Amino acid sequence: AGGLAHRGGAVPGWAAEDAVGKVAVVGRPNVGKSSLLNALLGQERMVVNPVAGTTRDSVACEYEWRGEKLLLIDTAGIRRQAAGGEEREELDRAAVAAARVAISQCHVALLLLDAYQGLTRADLAIAGLVTEQQKSCVIVANKADRLHAAGPPPLF
């Protein structure tokens, strides 16, 4: 539906249409979007790999929280154009288009940042995509466990 692959079965007895809220998890490549969803779901539903670009399509999973049925949408990492050859750029354009669709269809976007790398211009650009669509946004800092040894990250 609208460019989303659906991985049902997380919540027995209901369909994606039953969801009262759609939550898109967005961010740069390798900030931990799929890992976060796996942790929330309590199982390895999303493919996780240290190689950037593993998630290519927006994938929706059913999730029940406090009795409410939600649809969690894992999106590909959004990167700037010209981040690698012509074939890579075509894949990136498709991934960004799918992430934009997920943002436009969600009620809330979780903008995942890498706390170790700090807030980047790319993070601000993704936040801009969310605000353009007038969606609610929750900013989530991931990988904070790496901060202790390195000290605070730079602002940009």
| pLDDT of the residue at 10 | 42
The residue among 143 and 121 whose pLDDT is bigger is 121
Structure tokens that stand for 6 in this block = 């659906």
**Cα–Cα distance between 128 and 130 in angstroms, integer?**
5
Question: By percentage, how much of the chain surpasses pLDDT 70?
Answer: 65
**Average pLDDT in the chain:** 76
Mean pLDDT (whole number) for 145-155: 65
**Cα–Cα distance between 17 and 58 in angstroms, integer?**
17
Contact yes or no for 38/46 (Cβ under 8 A)? yes
| pLDDT of the residue at 129 | 92
| pLDDT of the residue at 141 | 92
Give the pLDDT confidence of 79-129 residue by residue, as tens digits.
765 555 565 567 677 778 888 888 998 999 999 999 888 899 999 999 999
Question: What stretch of H or E contains 130?
Answer: helix 121-132
